Amino acid sequence: MGLLITRSTPISWGEEVAVTLSRPPNIYIEIFLLGLVVQALFSVTLITLSAAGALYVLNVLYTRSTGVYFFVDSNIPAAVFLGLHLLVTDPATSPRKNFAKILFGAMYGAGVFGLYAMLARVGAPTYYDKLLCVPPLNLIVQALDHGAVALAARLRSFRLRPLEWLSRWTPRQANFAHMGIWMPLFAVMLTTGFVGGNHPGANLEFWRRACDEGKRNACQTWTQTMSVACQHGGGHACLNLGLVLYEGRVAPKNASEAGKYLARACDLGRPYACPALITAVQRDGPSLFQGGCHRGDGESCFILASLYYGGKGVPKDYARAVTLFRQSCDRGWARGCGGLAECYRAGHGTAADAARAIAYFEKACGGGIAPSCYAVATMYRSAQDHALARQRFRQACDLSVRSVEAREEYFKPGSPMPASPAFCTDTDQ
């Protein structure tokens, strides 16, 4: 709660954990099997079962009424699935009576559902949904247990034969019966694609069609999903989001952000992205990026510097490019350091200076820019420093391979992927 109130979430690894948890291909099965151990030892199956059941029902009702998916690219996110197995099943802080366990689990499922919507509405990280409802639920555990006892006494007064029969079971026997219900329910959820597998909501095209059809929150979800895909190297998503933000038809017009997405798509080699970027600059002028650069955005400085360096959409001006590359580098944008190094190496806009070129290439390489690692490796090789050259060639190769692997992890099989990095061919030269 403190992180939310102070808006200090970025200092934690919460988002990274929530996002990467779903990457292992069989994560739901692994969590389920681990959960079975906990359920068998501590008789908490009813909590997990009722929480999953509540989420199942709420998801089905939402999708049938709106035509879209509540949790965007899954029905029960992997982090939530982990929560209903291991977060709310601590026997020291959960109910002891069966009816109370059912209510407790169902309230957790419904709480996660409601908190996700509330957090999204206020612009807070949605992965807190599985956490924030736990303390209030723990506070009412005793009340739930007392209510369960009172209800059981009232039901016994009716002398219902099925209840009398069930009351003869030991808690352990009852728990194994509950596990016998949970296991086939999970099997149904898994085999029908409700959890695991390729969820339709993970496809950008699904949200584009839903947006065109005017379905609930579909346009907002489409733009958010494109932003995430772009961050993971999706050139098509970068291009589409840039065009959407520039047009201002589906989302509020934001020309400067649109330009940045178009530039990323251009970098990723997406057809039509570079011409679209140049056209936008010709229409709006350098002010498309100058405002962001003046506000300290290193990426905007870098894009504008690159345009001046290449004379694309603006007059070629190496001196102006050097100034902007320097501003970009000083503001922490590693590619700006690489651009400045290139100016020093080529003597464009400034006097050629190999030492400064190496220093700035090294800074960019340390920031994870593979082409700068490659460039400085070639300079070390020319200077006969073969040990450093091999080290930087290997670093360039490793950075490029990791970049490709990250995109492969994020995008579904069949998506167009770049070939093996060319940097790797020079590693041992």
Q: Using one digit for the tens of pLDDT, what is the confidence trace for 259-284?
A: 999 999 998 888 899 999 999 999 99
Helix (H, G, I), strand (E, B) or coil at 194: coil
Asked whether the beta carbons of 71 and 63 are under 8 A apart, the reply is no
Number of domains in the chain: 1
Task: In whole angstroms, give the CA distance from residue 197 to residue 25.
Answer: 8
pLDDT of amino acid 165: 47
> Which residue, chain included where needed, has tokens 């464009």?
348
Q: Mean pLDDT across the stretch 39-47?
A: 93
DSSP character for 412? Answer: P
| Assigned domain for 143 exists | yes
| CA-based torsion, 232, 237, 243, 247: positive or negative | negative
Q: In degrees, to the nearest 5, what angle opens at C-alpha 82 toward C-alphas 77 and 86?
A: 155
| Rg, C-alpha atoms of the chain | 28
The verdict on residue 209 lying in a domain is no
Residue 58 in tokens: 């709420």
What is this structure's pTM?
Answer: 0.78
94-106 residues labelled b (16+ CB within 10 A) or e (exposed): bbbbbbbbbbbbb
Q: How far is CA 268 from CA 217, 233, 407, in A?
A: 29, 7, 12
Mean pLDDT for the chain overall: 87
In total, the chain counts a number of residues equal to: 429
22 part of a folded domain = yes
Backbone torsions φ then ψ of 99, nearest 5 degrees: -65, -35
* Whole-angstrom distance, CA of residue 88 vs CA of residue 106: 11
Structure tokens at 273: 């992205």
Residue 280 makes CB contacts below 8 A (sequence gap 6+) with 246, 255, 258, 259, 262, 288, 313
Using the Cα atoms of residue 326, residue 332, residue 334 and residue 335 in order, give the sign of their dihedral.
Answer: negative
Q: Do residues 318 and 334 lie in contact, with contact meaning Cβ atoms separated by under 8 Å?
A: no
**Going along 115-199, which residue ranges are E strands?**
none
Assigned domain for 120 exists: yes
Assess whether pLDDT exceeds 60 at residue 428: no
Residue 390 covered by a domain: no
Over pLDDT 90: what percentage of the chain? Answer: 69
Structural domain includes residue 266: no
> Which residue from 164, 154, 166, 129 is spatially nearest to 18, judged by alpha carbons?
129
Residue 409, C-beta contacts closer than 8 angstroms, at least 6 positions apart:
23
Task: Name the one residue in this structure whose structure tokens are 């570079």.
Answer: 274
Smallest CA-to-CA distance from 199 within 57, 68, 33 is with: 68
Pairwise CA distance, residues 392 & 399, whole Å: 10
Q: What would the two tokens of residue 383 be?
A: 């200077």
* Lowest mean pLDDT segment, chosen from 50-59, 167-176, 190-199, 342-351: 167-176
Position 47 in a domain? yes
* Residue 248 placed within a domain: no
Cβ contact 43:172 at 8 Å: yes
pLDDT tens-digit profile of 95-110? 998 889 999 999 999 9
Average pLDDT over residues 129-133: 91
Residue 37: domain span: 2-200
Q: 426 with 377: CB under 8 angstroms? A: yes
Token duo for residue 238:
């970068």
Which pLDDT score, from 0 to 100, does residue 157 have?
59
**Which residue intervals of 347-411 are DSSP H helices?**
354-366, 370-382, 386-410
For Cα atoms 83, 86, 89, give the angle at the middle one, nearest 5 degrees: 105
Q: What is the mean pLDDT of residues 188-207?
A: 90
pLDDT value of residue 241: 96
Averaged pLDDT for residues 384-397 = 93
What is the distance between the alpha carbons of residues 116 and 51, in angstroms, rounded to a whole number?
15
Say which residue the tokens 């956490």 belong to.
131
